[in-house]
Structure 1
């Protein structure tokens, strides 16, 4: 299921599933572990897309160096799309993935048919700075247990953590120094986020999904994106998952159904 695409300056791994004629790209958020290790789970979660779409689930480039930016992440995805002959796709970006997806829609509008932004932001929010700052502190100190617990408690709703804490902790066992360094580099990239004033360049329909208990970026981050697009008279829909955490996409199967229905309009 895992494939590699070679670009001019890097290689990118991705999972491909589904048999449909249309392309659907998923750009995940920050992760302490390699997201592609859960590709089979992702394939199952997005199975309602599989008949209409071929789904591409992208990781960041294989080898990253300090200073790796959101702009470079967006360029990597755009380059991979071109290399894979995906001239126009529906794109879903979650959290940092939404930051990347915004940049693609702003600078490569010809590549995006429809855009979905889940629990994302267009510039660093106060909560975002605080939470990501603590993640960075713990990661740099090598305090992996504290990092994992902090990550889980802020990414998911309290009721979800109470029910699935043991399973969530199992996902983040045996974190290597290399994984911590990769996490630090990708987290640092969020500091330079500055898409808000360029949202006017987005030309495609947009679905913004926020979470009422977003403990990472805050619900305000999603509200501000939706309000800005509305003020610009863009084709935008907005929905809030009240009572769910930052990672509502993982808490609620209906989340994927809403995305699918938006893309089918």
Structure 2
């Protein structure tokens, strides 16, 4: 594991693999770089130089003790791009990371080649976050690890995929492989709740790809349709019957769509 530099010299954990066009991965709330999974990264590494880093306060990076906004996390992302030696990159952000990707392209358009937004929302009065997400955050806040894992597993996957032999243990192992402090998760949740790019997404000039599972229990699919209304010429790709972590359920299609966007 190496460190990359965010805003203010903040150290952030990251991993890098593959060769090709630069691709920055922005993970979601209560997550870390291991949640991307080798299935997806292996399908991408022949075409992309991939950097997957952990948001502030996660893993072995510097602590995050003060509240932050999605915009602050976007500034971290811009700093990471510079720190790894890139001038710009394709961006794939999921859930909270998709919110960060929106702020990144709005605040630092010069460093973004394209954006792919997965299982996320634009916020605002028409945004919809389900009761399932609230239950997951409440479970994490109890600091009962097993309760939090059970609740997040149920929130993140379709019932169909959740029955796949061995997937529950794989999820548990990956989720626990990197330290995610509860106070940081609660600050992420507050940042996500305050997120609102609805009045600004019309300014986005780079290609935009919207990916969403139709059975997403945490951030319902209507948020993807709302994003497509707000982003000029956005391409929408729905994963029929897939849950919040749609790329676990269909890593090959996810990789194919990201590769296709980068070569259009």
Question: Is TM more than 0.5 here?
Answer: yes
Contact 1:132–1:187 (CA under 8 A) maintained in structure 2? no
Within a 5 Å distance, the mapping from 1:8-47 to structure 2 comes to 8-20=8-20, 22-32=21-31, 35-37=32-34, 41-42=37-38, 45-47=40-42
User: 2 CA distance for matches of 1:37 and 1:260?
Assistant: 21
Q: 1:53 aligns with which of 25, 48, 51?
A: 48
Q: 1:243 aligns with which of 216, 241, 244?
A: 241
User: 2 CA distance for matches of 1:121 and 1:6?
Assistant: 24
1:5-34 Cα distance to aligned partner (Å, 9 max, x none) = 3642411221111122x21111111235xx
Structure holding more helix per residue: 1
CA RMSD of aligned residues (A): 2.3
SS in 1 for 2:131: helix
In the TM superposition, what is the alpha-carbon distance from 1:127 to its structure 2 partner? 5.0
Q: Which moved more, 1:100-109 or 1:75-84?
A: 75-84
**TM-score, normalization: structure 2?**
0.87
SS in 1 for 2:242: strand
1:186-243 Cα distance to aligned partner (Å, 9 max, x none) = 22221111111110121101011121101011001111001222xxxx2321111111
CA 1:200–1:6 in 2, change beyond 3 Å: closer, same or farther?
closer
In the TM superposition, what is the alpha-carbon distance from 1:172 to its structure 2 partner? 4.0
Structure holding more strand per residue: 1
In the TM superposition, what is the alpha-carbon distance from 1:175 to its structure 2 partner? 9.0
User: 1 CA distance for matches of 2:191 and 2:213?
Assistant: 23
Contact 1:3–1:16 (CA under 8 A) maintained in structure 2? no
Contact 2:119–2:244 (CA under 8 A) maintained in structure 1? yes
Match of 2:217 in 1: 215
> Which runs of no fewer than 5 residues in structure 1 stay unpaired?
none
